Structure 1
């Protein structure tokens, strides 16, 4: 008779391992949930939404290179996403006023409208599994953790 496999619990792992697993699990689970909701409602993958989010929060057009450094996408992925968004009329590329060799990207009016609708969908998808469960103190703690982890990006050599 094969023994029944037991589920690992927090007590079975060192605290740092459990915390890391939790970050990975939460990121994957929440991203998949948002991706499904955005794709179903707006035909907008979460990677496209991420680029639109950065553009929507910027008061002026964003250099394409800055999008590559800001998002969790590679520069080539950002380029493909911007191409797709431009093909749908959601973003515009314009020559940079500061650097003739580069282009800047901004949301079009249609892009702003689609982003607002998609952002409402994202919030609705996250509410029952994230924002409705966490209070202001929880969110502030997560923000503090994220800022600490992000602060060392590029300062610590990859293994």
Structure 2
């Protein structure tokens, strides 16, 4: 999913070189190469040799990927609307802060219990 999102942000007419996607995501090019082949098999992206240098593979989204991403974006928008209709942004921020505090206390309790064992 992160590769697809990176391509959404970076994509140009000729696609995006694998090494550019890797730099953006701060991971190795081999990871992008491996997973882009899987995404190509699922028809989410195209891998084409670079026009200037065929050793550099360029990635671009397929129409299928664009439709799926648009569908996900619409669902996310509905979810955001549902959440923020119930809680305002300030209330949501307060809730998130409370939940972080609870998580922190639970982690401390777990560590304390482990030390006693």
Mark yes or no: TM-score above 0.5.
yes
Label 1:80 to 1:124 Cα distance change in 2 as closer, same or farther (>3 A): farther
Q: Which residue of 2 aligns with 1:51?
A: 3
Q: TM-score w.r.t. structure 1 length? A: 0.45
Pair 1:133 & 2:86 matched: no
Deviation at 1:118, TM superposition (A): 2.2
Q: Structure 1: which 4+ aligned runs deviate by more than 6 Å?
A: none
Structure 1 gaps, min length 5: 1-48, 135-159
RMSD of aligned Cα (Å)? 2.4
Counterparts of 1:118 and 1:73, CA distance in 2: 25
Count of matched residue pairs: 84
Q: TM-score w.r.t. structure 2 length? A: 0.58
Residues 87-110 of structure 1, C-alpha deviations (whole Å, 9 max, x = no match): 110100011012221110001111
Structure 2 gaps, min length 5: 91-117
The structure that is helix-richer by fraction is 2
Pair member with larger Rg:
2
1:56-95 matches, cutoff 5 A: 56-57=8-9, 58-60=11-13, 61-95=15-49
1:1-159 matches, cutoff 5 A: 49-57=1-9, 58-60=11-13, 61-125=15-79, 128=83, 133=89
